[in-house]
Structure formats: C-alpha cells, structure tokens
C-alpha cells in the first residue's frame, strides 16, 4: 500500500484476486490477451489524476457485456473487489482500487454502435473517448454537448459514472442531461437496461438518472444511448477584466433578462490571473482583480448579435480590456488564458489539492471572498477559477508534498471551504464526485437520513460490497 494523504484503509477481509485459482477463472472468461497480472504492468492502473497509487492485483480488458457479467458473478461468489476504469483521469480516485482486487479496463469496448441522425441519438460502448464521440457526431453535423476539459482522455463510461460537467453546462447541462438509456451489469452479474432511445420516458423509476454519478459503485455501464443535438453554426467568446470579483460575478445574472443564454461563463480570480501572468504574460493589466469569459453559440447572425450585446453588457457593468473573438483563432487565444491556469499554479506548491465546490451562482463572490479568508487563517495559498455560470468553482489549495504541516493546513482549509459551500446553499462537489478523496467529507453535504437511503441503494445493487469498495461511504 502506498502512502496516501486522503485514504485510510478499513482493512476489510476479502479473497485475494491474485489467488491462482481466481486468476485462472478470470483468464478463462476474458482470454489470455485480455488480462495482465505483472506488477510492473498493472501499476499504471492503480492511479488517476489524484496521482496516488493503489495498484490492482490484475487488470482485465473484457470485450463484451457477457464477459463483464461473468467476471462480476465470479467476484460476487469469491468476494474480491472490482473497480471499473475509463480513461483514468478522474479527480477523486474513483477508478483506483484502494482495497485491492481487480480493475476492469473498458478500453476494448470502444465502438460506436449506432449514430441516428433522424432520431438524434448515438449508441456506444463505455470505452470510447469523449473526443471520439464528439468528432463522430460532428461528422454528421451533430453535437454531443457534455464537454469535460479532460475530453481527449476521458471515456464516456467514466463521464456517465462521474456525471461530468464542462464549459457548456450553463446552456446544455451536465452529462446526465444527455443520457437517454443505459445497459448496466450489476454487482451480481445481472444485465439490466434503463431508459431507452427517446427523450421522454417515464416508465418506472429513473434508473438512468441513478446510474449517472454512481461512480462505479452500483454497476458497470456496458452501453449508453446518448442524446445529440444539431451542431450550432458558430460560436464566439467575449473576455473582460474586472476590478473586483463581485463586479465580475454580478454580470452573470444580467444576460438572461436580455434573452441571452450564454453557452459558457467562466471566471478567473486575481491569484489565478497572477499565476498565468507570471508564467505566460498574457498582458492582463495590473488592476485586474477578476476575468470573465462568456461564450455564445447558435447561427452566425445570432452569434454576432449576441456577442456584441454581451460585450456591451460587460462594459456597462464595469468590464474593461474587453476582447470579442471574430473567428476561431481569436476565440482559441482567448481561452488559452483559462487553459494556462492549472499548470501555472504549480509554481506555488508541489502539490495541488483541486476541489470543485458549487454554490448558487449569485453566491460565487461571497464564496471566493470567504475562501480568501480561510486561506489567510490557515496559511494556505488558494486560487479559484472555473464555471461561474453554474456556480461550480475549482478551488486549488497549494501545498508542499514534502511538508506534512502544509498538507495538514490545506486539509483544514478544504474542510472549512466545504462547510462554507454548504452554508451558502451549495455542496462539496459539482462535477468531480466523491471517490475516496472526498469520502471523509460526505457528511458535511448529506444528512444522515439521506445517507442511509444511499447506503440502502448500494446494498440493493451490490449486497456484498464488491464494487469499488473504499469509496464514498467511509
């Protein structure tokens, strides 16, 4: 077991998946080419974007739903943990087998089964990368709207299991808003189907919604039917600097009364601006206390009209150094500043604890002001940026990997920030989920009665607790 700043093992007794008998049975299910047990080769499957390592005993790459069903039946009989893995770029350790056992890599279930232009849906396997589905849809003039920034690496199965969000959330919602139906293998190996191919479907309980954000703890998604929409003809982005975070965030509510629904609204705080200026010199002026990026999409004339009006609104409300993109290259340049933040912050510490609290968007200024106070109280450098349009802020606690005291102070800052988000009417995660990293804090956001309902659902789907143990409930 590697040292973790987040995880404390519950030391649950389970059959070791590396038992030769178990390995032989697993090999018989998936074939020799689809299993790895060599410790050096399984190691990369023991980490995600949290970068802490818990190597599995074996990694399997099943090629069919039936194989996944057989694996889970065996795991449920012999009682060893099974953790599903997509692209492995989750931010909460969801795909990491903290209690050992096997990892099911969905890499070889990566086909688009159907792309239906008439009925606006795609059916695909879980192992397809987000970018591959987006490109295939774009090739037919269609848009798959969910767009986590990790779209080049994340898999559709992982996005559904995390209910991932992205830049386009203010207009198009999060992943669950684009999921019509699923095929899922439960922990006992049953193959179930939820939802269907229609936007409307009110037959029985909404199990599709339940699976979205279930973090691989209720079942393994083996097929997804996803909503597509016509590809908007054009997009444009307007960027403005502000002299205060309050001023920047107050503008967020000024667009809808004008009949405008921006696709993306992202805010960058003064510390993040400072970090990118020191690293890349984008040319933000000294008095920039916050930056707002607002993007619209639609047909060309509408985008031109809307982006001009947005520029005006930003100016009328204290925005300065305003730039409006005229073409794709301009637009990419404007977003470069946003993309530069994460790497730039690493100059302030060797370890970045990246949280993603969410509050009603009118509370974002208060959230950020009070987070500054938390940082000062605990002596932690905290930088904020993110999806202000939906109130989901990436709060980055910088500390020194070699300095346990700085980590401890950052953890105290994290707890205070979570409590603050809940106090402001929000919650502790908008898109990254709970995994093992946020598990100790779940009680801050979920009351005991609701928690018991969640645990009951887990028990129903996974009576022996073999699916992704060590996550969410600790």
Ligand X SMILES: Cc1cc2nc3c(=O)[nH]c(=O)nc-3n(C[C@H](O)[C@H](O)[C@H](O)COP(=O)(O)OP(=O)(O)OC[C@H]3O[C@@H](n4cnc5c(N)ncnc54)[C@H](O)[C@@H]3O)c2cc1C
Residues that bind ligand X (CB under 6 A): 48-49, 83-91, 94-95, 106, 126, 148-150, 154-155, 157-159, 161-162, 164-166, 215-216, 220-221, 431-432, 468
User: In terms of CB distance, is 49 or 313 closer to ligand X?
Assistant: 49
Q: How many CB atoms lie within 10 A of CB 329?
A: 8
Angle of helix 404-423 relative to helix 364-378, nearest 10 degrees? 150
Between residues 339 and 455, which has the closer beta carbon with respect to ligand X?
Answer: 339
Shortest reach from residue 376's CB to ligand X, in Å: 28
Which of 79, 33, 78 shows the shortest CA–CA distance to 59? 33
CB of 95 to ligand X, least distance (A): 4
Q: Which is nearer to ligand X, 313 or 395 (CB)?
A: 395
**Cα–Cα distance between 352 and 457 in angstroms, integer?**
33
- Among 204, 184, 203, smallest CA distance to 192 is for 184
Per the CB < 8 A criterion, the answer to whether 193 and 204 are in contact is no
> H/E element holding 232?
none
- Least distance between ligand X and beta carbon 406 (Å): 22
> Among candidates 247, 382, 376, 268, which has minimal Cα distance to 316?
247
Q: Which is nearer to ligand X, 124 or 399 (CB)?
A: 124
The nearer residue to ligand X, 308 or 339, going by C-beta atoms, is: 339
Q: Which residue is nearest to ligand X (CB)?
A: 158
Crossing angle for the helix pair 328-339 and 270-280, to the nearest 10 degrees? 110
At its nearest, how many Å lie between ligand X and the CB of residue 115? 20
Looking at the Cβ atoms of 98 and 314, the one nearer to ligand X is 98
Residue 62 or residue 375: which is nearer to ligand X going by CB? Answer: 62
- Among residues 76 and 154, whose Cβ is nearest to ligand X? 154
As measured in angstroms, the least distance from the Cβ of 213 to ligand X is: 9
CA atoms lying within 13 Å on the CB side of residue 132: 15
Report the nearest approach of ligand X to the CB of residue 60 (Å). 13
Task: Please check whether residue 40 is in contact with residue 103, taking contact to mean a CB–CB distance below 8 angstroms.
Answer: no
For 80-236, where are the alpha helices, taking DSSP H only? 130-139, 156-162, 169-172, 207-211
Token code pair at residue 17: 């998946």
Question: What is the DSSP pairing of strand 35-36 with strand 58-60?
Answer: antiparallel
Nearest distance from residue 343's CB to ligand X, in Å?
10
Asked if 361 contacts 252 with a C-beta cutoff of 8 angstroms, the reply is yes
| Rounded Cα–Cα distance for residues 395 and 438 (Å) | 14
**Residue 133 CB, nearest distance to ligand X (Å)?**
12
């Amino acid at each position: 077991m590697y040292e973790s700043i987040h995880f404390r093992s519950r030391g649950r007794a389970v059959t070791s998946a590396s038992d030769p008998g178990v390995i032989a049975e697993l090999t018989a299910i998936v074939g020799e080419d689809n299993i790895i047990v060599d410790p050096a080769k399984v190691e990369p499957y023991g980490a995600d974007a949290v970068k802490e390592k818990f190597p599995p005993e074996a990694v399997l790459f099943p090629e069919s739903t039936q194989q996944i069903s057989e694996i889970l039946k065996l795991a449920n009989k012999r009682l060893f943990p099974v953790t599903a893995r997509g692209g492995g770029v989750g931010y909460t350790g969801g795909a990491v087998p903290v209690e050992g056992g096997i990892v099911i890599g969905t890499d070889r279930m990566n086909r688009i089964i159907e792309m239906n232009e008439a009925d606006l849906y795609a059916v695909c396997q879980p192992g397809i990368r987000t970018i591959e589905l987006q490109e295939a849809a774009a090739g037919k003039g269609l848009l798959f709207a969910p767009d986590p920034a990790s779209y080049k690496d994340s898999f559709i199965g992982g996005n559904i299991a995390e209910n991932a969000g992205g830049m386009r959330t203010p207009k198009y919602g999060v992943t669950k808003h684009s999921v019509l139906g699923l095929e899922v293998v439960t922990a006992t190996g049953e193959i179930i189907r939820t939802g269907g191919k229609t936007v409307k479907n009110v037959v029985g309980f909404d199990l599709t919604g339940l699976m979205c954000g279930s973090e691989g703890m209720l079942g393994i998604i083996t097929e997804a039917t996803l909503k597509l929409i016509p590809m908007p003809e054009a997009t444009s982005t307007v960027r403005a600097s502000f002299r205060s975070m309050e001023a920047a965030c107050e503008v967020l509510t000024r667009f809808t009364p004008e009949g405008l629904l921006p696709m993306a609204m992202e805010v960058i705080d003064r510390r993040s601006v400072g970090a990118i200026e020191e690293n890349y010199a984008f040319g933000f002026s000294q008095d920039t206390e916050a930056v707002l990026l607002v993007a619209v999409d639609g047909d060309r004339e509408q985008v031109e009209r809307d982006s001009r009006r947005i520029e005006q609104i930003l100016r009328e409300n204290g925005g300065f150094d305003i730039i409006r993109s005229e073409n794709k290259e301009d637009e990419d340049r404007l977003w470069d500043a946003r993309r530069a933040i994460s790497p730039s912050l690493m100059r302030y510490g060797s370890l970045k604890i990246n949280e993603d609290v969410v509050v009603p968007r009118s509370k974002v200024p208060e959230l950020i002001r009070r987070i500054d106070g938390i940082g000062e109280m605990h002596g932690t450098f905290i930088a904020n940026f993110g999806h202000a349009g939906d109130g989901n802020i990436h709060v980055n606690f910088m500390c020194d990997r070699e300095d346990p005291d700085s980590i401890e102070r950052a953890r105290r800052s994290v707890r205070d920030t979570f409590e603050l988000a809940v106090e402001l009417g929000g919650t502790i995660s908008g898109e990254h989920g709970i995994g093992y990293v946020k598990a100790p804090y779940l009680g801050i956001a979920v009351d005991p009665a609701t928690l018991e309902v969640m645990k009951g659902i887990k028990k129903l789907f996974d009576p022996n607790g073999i699916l992704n143990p060590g996550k969410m409930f600790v």
